[in-house]
């Protein structure tokens, strides 16, 4: 079962990190990532740069593009991990070990599996999606 851990910041988190040596942050995150790798659960992870960024808003036609990321700090999506775990509880345990400080949040979401779409197995793009994932895994 795959889970995505989505790192989010709040104004409190931004304020708390102002006085923290960035080298300490890198070391703490590096140790956390290394523990995920050694446990064999990390499939992917990355942090996101502040700029450049864009927001594509689909509430109008054509969609409206504005500079991003979002202006509201509580909406910032700062990075992510994709974990392969046996259970949702295991993914939650890993999330709780992340070295984030006050005001930071991790959203834990299950990534869809092929079985979630069994009722639509005859859909052309459900079939193609399986093929695309298989090709990506071989690359």
Q: Which of 41-45, 70-74, 99-103 has the highest mean pLDDT?
A: 41-45
11-52 pLDDT tens trace: 888 888 888 898 998 999 999 999 999 999 999 999 888 777
Q: What CATH number corresponds to the domain at position 47?
A: 3.30.70.1060
Per-residue model confidence (pLDDT) at position 73: 55
The C-alpha atoms of residue 15 and residue 53 are separated, in whole angstroms, by 22
Structural domain of residue 131, as residue ranges? 2-138
Per-residue model confidence (pLDDT) at position 12: 87
How many residues can be counted in the chain? 139
Query: Which of helix, strand or coil describes residue 67?
Result: strand
The C-alpha atoms of residue 117 and residue 64 are separated, in whole angstroms, by 31
Per-residue model confidence (pLDDT) at position 76: 67
Residue 42: closest CA among 69, 79, 16: 79
The radius of gyration of the chain's CA atoms, rounded to the nearest angstrom, is: 18
71 pLDDT more than 90: no
pTM: 0.83
- 77 confidence band (pLDDT: 50, 70, 90): confident
Q: Structurally, how many domains does the chain consist of?
A: 1
Asked if residues 55 and 69 have their Cβ atoms less than 8 Å apart, the reply is yes
Residue 3: closest CA among 98, 113, 101: 113
- 109 confidence band (pLDDT: 50, 70, 90): very high
Q: What is the mean pLDDT of the chain?
A: 89
Detail the DSSP E strand segments found in 48-136. Answer: 53-57, 64-68, 77-84, 105-110
72 pLDDT more than 60: no
Query: Which of helix, strand or coil describes residue 106?
Result: strand
Listed in sequence order, the residues at least 6 apart from 34 whose beta carbon sits closer than 8 Å to its beta carbon are: none
Residue 78: closest CA among 111, 56, 102, 45: 45
């Amino acid at each position: 079962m795959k889970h995505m851990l989505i790192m989010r910041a709040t104004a409190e988190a931004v304020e708390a990190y102002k006085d923290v040596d960035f080298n300490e942050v890198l070391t703490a995150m590096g140790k956390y990532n290394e523990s995920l790798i050694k446990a064999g659960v990390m499939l992917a992870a990355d942090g996101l740069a502040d700029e450049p960024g864009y927001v594509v808003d689909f509430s109008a036609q054509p969609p409206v593009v504005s500079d991003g990321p979002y202006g509201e700090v509580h909406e910032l999506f700062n990075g992510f991990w994709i974990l392969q775990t046996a259970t949702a509880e295991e993914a939650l345990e890993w999330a709780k070990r992340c070295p984030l400080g006050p005001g930071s949040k991790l959203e834990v979401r299950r990534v869809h599996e092929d079985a979630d779409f069994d009722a639509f197995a005859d859909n052309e793009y459900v079939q193609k999606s399986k093929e695309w994932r298989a090709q990506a895994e071989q690359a």
